[in-house]
Structure 1
Amino acid sequence: TGYSPYGWDWADAEKTSYKINPEEAAVRFSIFHMFVELDMSLRSIAHKLTEDGIPTPSRTRYPNSKYGELWTHTTLYDFLKTPTNIGTLTICKRQKSLDERGRLHYQPHPET
């Protein structure tokens, strides 16, 4: 079911729960600290992380890729607005359904 969020690792092979990745969690904390406490812009934070040699989320997933070498303000914006990164866990975001022709589609899960 995909990758774990940045700062977390899957706790089991079935990918049913997370455990903290200490190195990435320190980066997560640092990002929030720079944004909230130090009032740094997203571009400044991106420059600092890149300058410090901190691997991007893409680089940690695909270490040999030619992409994802630099932190960007867009990466940080997405990071800061993601509910998981502020402590909100969302499960069952999508559900599978078949259309009239039998093709598989993913739909947003209805509110329960």
Structure 2
Amino acid sequence: MSAFEVTQPEIHTRPIAQTELWELVMEAADYRCHCTGGLCGSQHSKTGLRCPAVHDQTHRKGKGLVRLVAAPADLGLSDLAAVELPVDQLQAWCPSCYTAARNRAREADANARRIADGPEGTLF
């Protein structure tokens, strides 16, 4: 290192609110998406069954930088219920895995309600 080189510590971009909570979730996940095979529809089979997305690194499909979000582990929760969760019930998600996994969880919940609320005494 010469006298003119400056080394800066790695700084991650952060959300504008709840930064302490977000940092705790990201540190626990090592700044990597929590999604494991099957949650979002991708098996993530080429990356050890875990999404390879890392915060502030280039998206694997070349879509710019990945910005991880802290979201509930229980993706069936409403947004209002999710806001009040403690840190141990939150996980790091990349936007694409979170959206796909949440949609799948909500579809499964809707199907379960449809089956439970279906007409009684019918075969089909």
Give the TM bin, normalised by the shorter chain.
under 0.3
Q: Which has the higher contact order (CA 8 A, sep 6+)?
A: 2
* Normalised TM-score (structure 1): 0.26
Which has a greater percent of strand?
Answer: 1
Higher helix fraction (1 or 2)? 1
Taking structure 2 as the reference length, the TM-score comes to 0.25
